[in-house]
Amino acid sequence: MLKSKSRQNQNDKARTKVAILGSGNIGTDLLIKIMRSQYLRCSFFIGRKLGSGGMARAINLGVRISDHSVEAIVDEPDCCDIVFDCTSSETHKRHWTILEKLGKRVIDLTPAKVGRLCIPSVNMEECLTEPNINMVSCGGQTAIPLAYVLGQTQQHVEYIEVVSTIASLSAGPATRLDIDEYIHTTELGLKTFSGCQQTKAILNLNPAEPPIDMQTTVFAKVGSPDMERLHFAVTNMVEKIRKYVPGYQIIVPPTDGNNRISIMVKVRGIGDYLQKYAGNLDIINCAAVYAAEEFAKDGLRSRVRGTASDKCDESS
C-alpha cells in the first residue's frame, strides 16, 4: 500500500499543474475530464461562489477550491502552470492582463478571441508556442474542421453558414451572456480556417424535454464541387477529431444540391457532469484538455532534451 501511494505521489508530481477559473457547467465538466488525464493535475478549482454545484463536486473529488477568482492565482503564482479560463468573454480580457504578467499559459474557453484561435485537429502544432490560445466555441470546434476541409478541397467556396442547436439546459449563464461574442468569434474562425470571407454562425438553444443532443449543420455554396475529394477529406478529419472527442459523428455526409453542400454532425457527450445530451461541453472541453496535454508533453520533451544536453556537456 505504501509503495502504491508513493508511486501515486510521483505520478502527481510528474503531471502538469493546472487551475480552472469558473465553476459553472463548462468548468465543472472540464474538471472531471482532467481528473482522468495522465499528463494534467488540477491543483486549484476557482470560482466566486462557495455554494455552487461545481464547488461541491470539486470538494468531493478532493480538489482544492477558492472563491477568490483570479486573485487566488495572484496570491499563489506557483499553484499552476496552465490556466483554463471558463468564465466569460469580458472577464477573460481582465484575467489575461493579470495572467500574462504572471507568465501563465492560458487556454481560453470563452469567445474572447484574445489569443490565437486553436482547433486541435487543424493547427495544434502551430499553437504550441502561444501563451494564450482561444478554443473559439462549441459550434466552432464542431464546424470549423469541416469548413477547413471545404477550403482545402474546393476551388471556390463562396459562402459558409453554420447552425448549431444545443439543449438549453446545457447553456449556463456565462454561455448565454456571451451569445453575441459566440457568433462573432465562430464566424471569425470559419473565415480564418476556410479562407471563405462570407460566413454566418447561428446558435439555437432548444428547451425540448427530454433534452436534445447537440447538432451542427454546415452549409456551403461552392462553385463546381469536388465531392470525391470532400468525402475522403471529411472521413480523415472525423478520425482525427474522434481521437479526443469520441462522441463526434457525421449523421448526414457531404451532400450536394445545385452547388450547395450540406454536412450534419451530432456530438454525444460522455456524461461527465451533465447527461450525454450535453455534447457542447464535450466538444470544447475535450479540445481544451487535448491542447493542454500537448503543451504538457511538449514541456516533457523539452526537459528531456535539456537533460540529455547537460549530460553531453558533462561528458565532454
Range of the domain at 72: 2-135+278-304
Q: Output DSSP code: residue 211.
A: P
Q: For the chain, where are the E strands, in sequence order?
A: 16-21, 40-46, 65-66, 82-85, 105-108, 116-117, 132-134, 156-167, 199-206, 214-223, 248-256, 260-267
Long-range pairs, 58-64, Cβ under 8 A, ≥24: 58/23, 58/28, 58/31, 61/31, 61/32, 61/35, 63/31, 63/35
Query: Mapping DSSP to helix (H, G, I), strand (E, B) and coil, where does residue 222 land?
Result: strand
Does residue 211 sit in the same domain as residue 259? yes
**Residue 46 amino acid letter:** I
159 pLDDT exceeds 80?
Answer: yes
| Domain presence at residue 273 | no
Does residue 178 sit in the same domain as residue 245? yes
Model's pTM, two decimal places? 0.92
Which neighbouring-strand residues pair with 307? none
Does residue 153 sit in the same domain as residue 110? no
What is the spatial distance between Cα 256 and Cα 305, in angstroms, rounded to a whole number? Answer: 50
Q: Output DSSP code: residue 37.
A: -
What is the pLDDT at residue 300? Answer: 76
Q: What is the pLDDT of residues 271-315, one digit of tens each?
A: 999 999 999 999 999 999 999 999 999 987 765 555 444 545 555
What is the pLDDT at residue 308? Answer: 43
Catalytic residue numbers read: 138
- Per the structure, the count of domains in the chain is 2
Does residue 118 sit in the same domain as residue 184? no
| Domain presence at residue 34 | yes
Does residue 201 sit in the same domain as residue 235? yes
What is the spatial distance between Cα 106 and Cα 122, in angstroms, rounded to a whole number? Answer: 19
What is the spatial distance between Cα 36 and Cα 13, in angstroms, rounded to a whole number? Answer: 15
Does residue 25 sit in the same domain as residue 75? yes
What is the pLDDT at residue 11? Answer: 62
178 pLDDT exceeds 90?
Answer: yes
Average pLDDT for 104-133: 98
Q: What is the pLDDT of residues 56-80, one digit of tens each?
A: 999 999 999 999 999 999 999 999 9
